[in-house]
Structure 1
Amino acid sequence: STLTTLLELGVIPIINENDTVVTDEIKFGDNDTLGALVANLIEAEALIILTDQQGLFTADPRSDPSATLIGEGRAEDRSYEAMAGGAGTGISRGGMITKIRAAQRAARSGAHTCIASGRELDPLLRVAAGEAVGTLLYASSTPLQARKQWLADHLQLAGDLIIDDGAVTALKSGRSLLPVGVIEVRGDFKRGAVVSCRSITGEEVARGLVNYSASECRRIARKPTAEIEKLLGYIDEPELIHRDNMVGR
């Protein structure tokens, strides 16, 4: 990738989402999320997020004098989201909650995250030296496979496949999605697009790379695999989404 090549050349890329000009259709939402996605992309060992706070506290230290700094923990600990609270200073998008979610996202590729104050002296050098600075959130010991990690982090979905209860059970058991389990196709997408698989109640069960276009999916929905070739004139894959190209939600 471009980033990998730049790093190999000794270049430090500066990547930013400009809040004043970004459009809703293509925005990532905040630079914390963007940083986590870049960490995933380059398979970084660590993500360091510098902010105006010393790290993650048990409560907002600006309003609760009893709040204490959390030195370390696991990125997937959901209790941290409640501790993180709402928005930040208003200077840019996001707050501590977006940093916690960025740490969870980075952890999916095995990257640890350090949240520390950018106002202290030499925070990056101190973190690199192993000093206890800010909050260190450890990654899971079993990161998703690279392909499934990318699918899990994919923010822009091309469409939805509404599936029946039998398909929901199959997907939650780690099996592939077959045409017979699809009730409805929403959106206009091409083969290879990332689509969401949803139950009839709207719950996202999984997302993955679809083997057929939206128009083809509509033609073979509710049909057994044996009829794909007769309906389309060809058969590319027996599944709409193979389990190796799918990740559960």
Structure 2
Amino acid sequence: MPISRLFDLSDKSHAPRLVLKVGSALLVGKQGVRREWLTGLVAEIAVARARGQQVIVVSSGAIALGAATLGLDKGGRGSLADAQAAAAVGQIALSGLWAELLGSHGLTAAQMLLTLEDLEDRRRYLNVTATLTRLLDAGAVPVINENDSVATNEIRFGDNDRLAARVAQAAQASAVLLLSDIDGLYDRHPKEPGAKMIPVVEGVTAEVHAMASAESNSGMGSGGMISKLQAAEIAELAGIALVIGNGQYDRPVARIVDEGVGTLFLPRRKAGARKAWLGGRLRLKGSIIVDDGAAAALLRGSSLLAKGITGVSGAFLRGDPVAIEDGQGRVLAHGLSEYDAAECEQIRGHHSSEQADILGYAPRSSVVHRDQLVLK
């Protein structure tokens, strides 16, 4: 049964598997860990488990905790080295805290530290799926964070909003609940006069993106509303609902679900598992620019042919993920290229009958086949 309202998140038949994301500012205050607040949240997780729902936690806080222990300024985010060191210290405390509080309800915590590559590489992604499935079947509560001690600026999520959405894809979850420092998505910056919160969003469009702000009210976390909308897009591809709600209250899940205070993003579609993984990728190796005719053909479900290509960017190889863009720079699709960048440059604008003479071998049927392509 699909989710259609916030209250459905407390119903096992609508939401048998939930991903709950907790931001740094909610876990760590000026005086350290907000233990009383976290105790209440864990009690809510225990209630969900008691009614038969499986719960995965994506928890920030390692860098903030480690920075406080090591005495690092800027919350441990002054440099990459500071962040990595702070995470190494803080992750021990964070995982121990979750294990202790979940254990007080008879629940077993399982730590998983992931990098971007763990979810971008198909084989590693499937390994994550298998591990999560086994942990949940065994009754554990997976507690997941980005592996900030080894992640670099080039190979990191950078925020746990998008990580939570990718984990939800891998776990085939029903919904993602992002606990943040704001009630939901507003039609303009919430500090502006007349700003109104939007209770339901059906598909993240350009107009919805225009409402977003990159600011995070706490200054401690790394994700603002922009990252949350990106997370909603990732979840949508897999047919997963996503909720943005305010976690600053005691028992925040009950306030969001029972009182209906938050923004619910409803997916408009559901791609197959492989296409959902492909469409949710955050790192692409290049881009292919197409003309209006090719753009229209893609929207009709066709493969991308060389004739419709007007430009090539990046240094990608055959099988690498690429963005397909129109002439205005709008991303139309993600796909796996059947040619490398140099070959695409050689054959762009040419009919398939000409490609064998250009390349010196018989061409493949398409540059990006429709089975390896997902519309954005």
User: Shared topology, TM-score over 0.5?
Assistant: yes
Equivalent residue runs for 1:17-166 within 5 Å: 17=146, 22-56=151-185, 63=191, 70=198, 72-76=199-203, 81=209, 84-88=212-216, 89-124=218-253, 126=254, 131-166=258-293
Q: Secondary structure at the match of 1:160?
A: strand
Shifted more, 106-115 versus 86-95: the winner is 106-115
Residue 241, structure 1, aligned to residue 368, structure 2: yes
Coordinate RMSD, CA, aligned:
3.3
Match for 1:188 among 303, 309, 315?
315
1:69-111 deviations in Å (ceiling 9; x for gaps): 55x3125265655555440121111223433442343233222
Paired AA for residue 52 in structure 1? D
Identity %: 38
**In structure 2, distance between residues paired with 1:66 and 1:160:** 40
Structure 2 unaligned segments of length 5 or more: list them.
1-125
**In structure 2, distance between residues paired with 1:68 and 1:226:** 56
Q: Contact 2:285 / 2:322 at 8 angstroms: preserved in 1? A: yes
Q: Number of residue pairs matched?
A: 244
Shift of 1:45: 0.3
Q: Which residue of 2 aligns with 1:206?
A: 333
Q: Which residue of 1 aligns with 2:54?
A: none
**In structure 2, distance between residues paired with 1:104 and 1:234:** 38
Q: Contact 2:203 / 2:268 at 8 angstroms: preserved in 1? A: no
Q: Which residue of 1 aligns with 2:303?
A: 176
